[in-house]
Chain A
């Protein structure tokens, strides 16, 4: 597609439920990144994919967070047993080579 597509755009979930967030990067972009942004805060790195492999998972906050990427394209970020502190905007970005990131519009996750 023309840009990075994320779905859903908004998600309200009950504490303790699992959620899946989807990212569809720009076609041909080999690198894909997940970041988290809490209200009024900066960008917190979660995980980075190069192709289907994840060379850097160092930002995942706990083992409740996992992510995968299939076919070198779509990625899914899964949060199990959601907690209120997981509430944030989850941003996906993709890039090719040494070029800058193209971000998606994000998924706003609210845990109630």
Chain B
């Protein structure tokens, strides 16, 4: 079945440093979504990328979708303590554009002040 892998599993940074997490799917995706889960909280939707090679920005966060639509990345510039949490990527299963999402195992980000 479809697999979605994320690296790294953990990342510890000093406040102000940049952070990147990478996501790879075993199958081509119609879209990819990113979620953030704060410690003790629930996942919160950040963004959806649909087009091959798409790049979207949200303030200090930059999201990319690969040309082959099998990989994606999330880059945070100048991390802040509020960025702490687990970042998950997720893609629809079975080549569909909706329905069940398969989630990566997440990257846990720790930011030291």
Residues of A that sit less than 8 Å from B by CB? 31, 33, 35, 41-43, 45, 48, 50, 55-56, 91, 93, 95, 97-106
Contact = CB atoms under 8 A, between A and B. Distances in A.
Contacts of B44: 103
B94 to A, nearest CB: 9
Nearest to B100: A48
A45 B98 contact: no
Interface residues of B, number: 22
B40 to A, nearest CB: 10
A77 B35 CA distance: 24
A72 to B, nearest CB: 16
30 contacts: A31-B99, A33-B100, A33-B101, A35-B103, A41-B105, A42-B88, A42-B103, A42-B104, A43-B43, A43-B88, A43-B90, A45-B101, A45-B102, A48-B99, A48-B100, A55-B99, A56-B99, A56-B100, A91-B42, A91-B43, A95-B98, A97-B98, A100-B33, A100-B35, A100-B48, A101-B43, A101-B101, A103-B42, A104-B42, A106-B42
B101 A98 contact: no
B110 interface: no
Given A31-B99, A56-B99, A42 B105 contact: yes
Contacts of A35: 103
B71 interface: no
